[in-house]
A and B are shown apart, each in its own frame.
Chain A
Amino acid sequence: MIAIVDYGVGNLFSLSSSLKLIGANAVVTNDVELIRKADKIILPGVGAFADAAKKLVDTGLGQVVIDEAEKGKPLMGICLGMQLLFERSFEYGVHEGLGLIKGSVEPISDFVARKYKIPHIGWNALTFKGKEKDRIFKYIDEGDFVYFVHSFCGTGCDDFLIATTEYGAEITAAVANGNVYGMQFHPEKSGSVGMKILKAFCEL
């Protein structure tokens, strides 16, 4: 069973539907016991980092996610859920994240020329990083397109980079630290390519 952590941030309908379509048993939940019992965890999220980080602390779900990830359970953060895996974010102030991926979250506008529009919205191509293609990408190819919607991006995470995308600069698209994965794009909105990434995650 895959637990999609429901901490009151974002729209989980497409995510749970997409997992259902590929035959996964996914449950949207804020139940600590259920999350601890799950085989895998997905941390979703859209909106502001500070609000989401606070909700993870207030509900205690952040600590549960950290505990389970440290036990080796596969975890995938998506979009803001990916950014929350980092140590800190500079989105309107400085805010602490879960610290499962070394690095920070900073505005894309700090890295790209003004002609690049913010948010970075649309389909962009993946470039794989690391010595070899990560197992999460085993069903897709370099250059495949995925759907991004974000104004902030992961930085200082070179050792954990598994994919980037080009948007006036090399932007962090995906990170991995052992069993912990982070996807800046939305696999659940990236058509068949996204489905193949979710399928590979389900098979971990």
Chain B
Amino acid sequence: MITKRIIPCLDVKDGRVVKGVNFLDLADVSSPVKLAKYYSESGADELVFYDITASAEGRALFTDILTEVASTIFIPMTVGGGINTVADFDRVLKCGADKVSVNSGAIRNPELIREAAKLYGDQCVVLSVDVKRVDGEFRVFAKGGREDTGMEAISWIKKCVSMGAGEVVVNSIDTDGVKGGFDIELLEIVTNAVNVPIIASGGAGSKQDFVDLFKAIPTIDAGLAASVFHFGEIKINDLKNELKKNDINVRL
């Protein structure tokens, strides 16, 4: 049986992991390569890297890091941030990324999804979507969650999947950073709306939040988080043991 995936997400700026990290057993906590290795060894099923640099130097540094990670860590790697063209796909895939996540780039030009899926296959194209409740509906937000696009989220996700997105990361702005659990209501609607793997993001504060997610929505595929892992509040191997205890199928 397929297992539920646990995915730490690393935001990288100017070659360093953003959000101060605090591990007793890891000296250089903001080195993306060392942190990635640490996660891989503690049972992470996949890694997500977001490039949040704006400068060209930062971007070059980012691809160097990806190359280094892909030379030493052999689990799937999804890369996002600043993906606007097929050339951007090419750039990160050559560094060893397996999947590429598009967000604002797809909002500006939805055809990017179709083009990339045709070139690299559906399985390579991950739609990342930031969703927030506005006036009683789910809205798509752009630019890292700062700008309301006015688009209704569920129809946007359906459209992107029909164009070739093979997986969707749903980040709830309403629950993000609150650490009060995932946005079950939103995630359930998305999971029922499309038939591709869904990755839940935003709101994880405890191991129980992951248990609740997979119990509430048995068809959801993965849980993604950043700071709770980076701060060591949740250790991935502890989390997976906890899931296993709750009869949730995980890779141990």
Would you give the shortest CB distance from A192 to chain B, in whole angstroms?
A: 8
CB distance from A93 to the nearest CB of B (A): 16
15 A-B pairs, CB-CB below 8 angstroms? Answer: A14-B74, A21-B71, A46-B121, A115-B219, A117-B196, A117-B221, A119-B166, A120-B2, A122-B222, A123-B2, A123-B5, A145-B3, A151-B122, A167-B1, A189-B75
Name the contact of B96 in the complex, choosing from A11, A123, A191 (C-beta under 8 A).
A11
Residue of A at shortest CB range from B76?
A189
Q: Does A71 sit within 8 A of B, measured CB to CB? A: no
Q: Which applies to chain B's interface (DSSP): helix, strand, loop or mixed?
A: loop
Extra contacts, 13 of them, besides A117-B195, A124-B1 (Cβ < 8 A), are A14-B96, A21-B72, A46-B123, A47-B120, A117-B196, A117-B197, A117-B219, A119-B166, A125-B3, A149-B123, A150-B123, A151-B123, A167-B2
Determine the chain B residues whose CB is within 8 A of the CB of A13 once the complex forms: 67, 70-71, 94-96
CA distance A24 to B120 in the complex (A): 28
Proximity string of chain B (104-137) to chain A, C-beta cutoff 8 Å, 1 when within and 0 when not: 0000000000000001111110000000000000
User: B1-26: which have CB < 8 Å to A?
Assistant: 1-3, 5
Q: Which residues of B contact A (CB under 8 A)?
A: 1-3, 5, 40, 45, 67, 70-72, 74-76, 93-98, 119-124, 166-167, 195-197, 219, 221-222, 251
Are A149 and B120 neighbours in the complex by a CB distance under 8 Å?
A: no
On whether the beta carbons of A11 and B75 are closer than 8 Å, the reply is: no
Which residues of B lie under 8 Å from residue A194 when comparing CB positions?
A: 74
Q: Which positions in A face B, CB cutoff 8 Å?
A: 11, 13-14, 17-18, 20-21, 46-48, 114-115, 117-125, 145, 147, 149-151, 166-167, 186, 188-191, 194-195
